[in-house]
Amino acid sequence: MNKRRVVITGIGMISPLGVGNEPTWQGLLDGRSGIHRITKFDPTNFACKIAGEVRDFNPEDWIEKKEVKKSDTFIHYAVAAAQIAIDDARIDSKKEDGDRFGVIIGSGIGGLPLIEEMHKKMLERGPSRISPFFIPGLIVNLASGHISIRFNCRGPSSAPATACATGAHAIGDAYKIIQRDEADLMFAGGSEAVITPLAVGGFSAMRALSTRNDDPEHASRPWDLNRDGFIMGEGAGVLLLEERERALARGAKIYAELTGYGMSSDAYHITSPSEDGGGMSRVMQRALKDARLGVTDIQYINAHGTSTPVGDRIETIAIKTVFGDQAYKIPVSSTKSMTGHLLGAAGGLEAAICALAVTNQILPPTINYETADPDCDLDYVPNKARPAKLQHVLSNSFGFGGTNASLILSAHE
C-alpha cells in the first residue's frame, strides 16, 4: 500500500525577530539578531541578563480580551501562530470536516509564567485568590485544546513535551497521522514562553546560558570558538500539514513536502548528549531511511546548533558520522544564532524556516561566526545568507533526557 504524501500549505511564525512570517523570515535573511537585554523582569541579579523576547505582541489582536487572562502566554503564541498558518493556507475551518482535522502543538515547559504569578499571589493573599483558570491556563495540551476549539478540529489531538525536540516531534507525529489516513489536515508545531526569573535562574544554575551580557546581539554564536552557552528565546512555529492530493485539488500553495521523520534516544544522561553523538547519528539515519534517501541527497542541514561548547561539537561529530566525507559538502547553519533557542518551539520554527528555505532556494546563515573552532570544521554558512539549489533538507532537534528528532523536507514535485 502506498503511503499518503504530506505537504506544508501554511506557515505561522512568531519569534524574537517579529510577529508573523515576513518579519521573521526577512530578519533571518538579513542576518539580524533578536537577542537583547531582558525586559520581562529585572535581570540585574541574574548571571544571564539577555534573551530573545517576542516584542510588539498584543494577545488581544488574536484572542478576545476576556479570554486572554484565562491562559498563559505560550497558549497565546500558539493560537496566534495557528491563525497565521491557516490564513496563509487559505483554509476556512468552518467549511472543513472537523473529524479529519487534527492538532498537535507541544511545549517543552508550558505555563511557567502563570505558575510563578499564581504562586506569588497565593503566598501574598492566600489560596482563595488562585484563579479557577490556573490549571487549564498552564498545562501543555491546552495550546492544542484552544486551537481545536477555535478551528473545530475534532480529529487527533495531542501535545508532546519532549524538551527541545517538542516542535519537531509534533510535526513528525502529525505527518505520520496524515500518512496513515487518520486525518487530512493537521496543525503541528510548538510554542514556548518561559523568559521568567525561575527559568532563567534555573538554566543559569546549570551554567547552560551565555553570560555575554554586554554584547547581546553577538552572544548566540554556534560553532564559534568563543561560544559560551545558549540564549533563551520564545515564540511559536506552527505548520498546516495537508494530504497532497487534497492540497493539489484545491489549488493550494505548497511550500515543501515532508518526506522523512526519525526519533531516537541517547539513553545516556539527563542533560548531556553522549560523547560519540550516537543518539544524534541514529535519528538522522532513521529520517533518511524513512525518506528513502542517501547521504548525497541532502543539500542543507538546519542544525540544533545551540551555541553550547559541548553540544555544537558533538552535533558536528554526529553529522560527520552519518554523512562521512559528504558532510564537508553540506551547508549547515543554526538560525538560533539569530532567534536564540526557543526550547519546545524551536523545532516548529526551524521546520518552518526549512520550508521557506526550500521554497526560496536560499540558506539562512549562522551569524556571529568569527573564530573557527578546530573541532567544528563544517560549512556553517557564516554570517550571510546564500542562494542554493535545495531538493532535500534536514532539520535537527535534540532535547534534555536524550530525546532526538529529525525531519526531512523536500521540494514538492
Which amino acid, one-letter code, is at 404? N
Contact yes or no for 188/258 (Cβ under 8 A): no
Cα–Cα distance for residue pair 332/137, rounded to 1 Å? 38
Task: Kindly name the residue from 76, 341, 354, 392 that is annotated as catalytic.
Answer: 341
Query: Cβ(160)–Cβ(245) under 8 Å?
Result: no
pLDDT in tens, 318-369: 999 999 999 999 999 999 999 999 999 999 999 999 999 999 999 999 999 9
pLDDT at 263 over 90: yes
> What angle is formed at CA 118 by the lines to CA 115 and CA 120, rounded to 5 degrees?
105
Average pLDDT over residues 141-153: 98
- Domain boundaries of the chain, sorted by first residue: 7-249, 261-410
Q: Is the confidence at residue 63, as pLDDT, over 60?
A: yes
Q: Is the dihedral of CA 137, 172, 343, 22 positive or negative?
A: negative
Contact yes or no for 213/49 (Cβ under 8 A):
yes
Topology (CATH level 3) of domain 261-410: Peroxisomal Thiolase; Chain A, domain 1 (3.40.47)
What band does 249 get if pLDDT is binned at 50, 70 and 90? very high
* pLDDT-derived band at 413, boundaries 50, 70, 90: confident
pLDDT tier for residue 2 given thresholds of 50, 70 and 90: confident
CATH 3.40.47.10 fits 7-249, yes or no: yes
Active site residue 164: yes
pTM, entire model: 0.98
What nine digits make up the cell of 77?
A: 503564541
Q: Is 131 exposed, middle or buried (0-12, 13-18, 19+ CB in 10 A)?
A: middle
CB 303 within 8 A of CB 333: yes
From residue 43, how far is each of 38, 144, 204, 235, 315 by CA, in Å? 6, 32, 12, 20, 31
Q: What are the start-end ranges of the H helices in 36-111?
A: 65-68, 73-89
Torsion of CA 12, 366, 316, 267, to 10 degrees: -40
Tell me if residue 288 falls in helix, strand or coil.
helix
The domains spanning 7-249 and 261-410 adopt the same CATH topology: yes
pLDDT tier, 385 (very low <50, low <70, confident <90, very high otherwise): very high
119, containing H or E segment = helix 112-125
How far is the C-alpha of 274 from the C-alpha of 112, rounded, in Å? 29
Q: Looking at the predicted structure, is the pLDDT value of residue 1 above 90?
A: no
48 has catalytic annotation: no
Contact between residue 258 and residue 408 where contact means Cβ atoms under 8 Å apart: yes
Selecting among 48, 146, 153, 164, the annotated active-site residue is: 164
- pLDDT of 41 > 90? The answer is yes
The pLDDT, as a whole number, for residue 144 is 98
Predicted confidence (pLDDT) per residue in 77-116, tens digit: 999 999 999 999 999 999 999 999 999 999 999 999 999 9
Confirm whether 341 is a catalytic residue.
yes
Going from the C-alpha of 342 to that of each of 35, 133, 190, 243, 254, the distances in angstroms are 12, 25, 9, 28, 26
Distance CA 1, CA 395 (A): 28
Residue in 76, 146, 169, 304 annotated catalytic: 304
pLDDT range class, residue 245, cuts 50, 70, 90: very high
pLDDT of res. 83: 98
pLDDT score, position 33? 98
Average pLDDT of the chain to the nearest whole number: 97
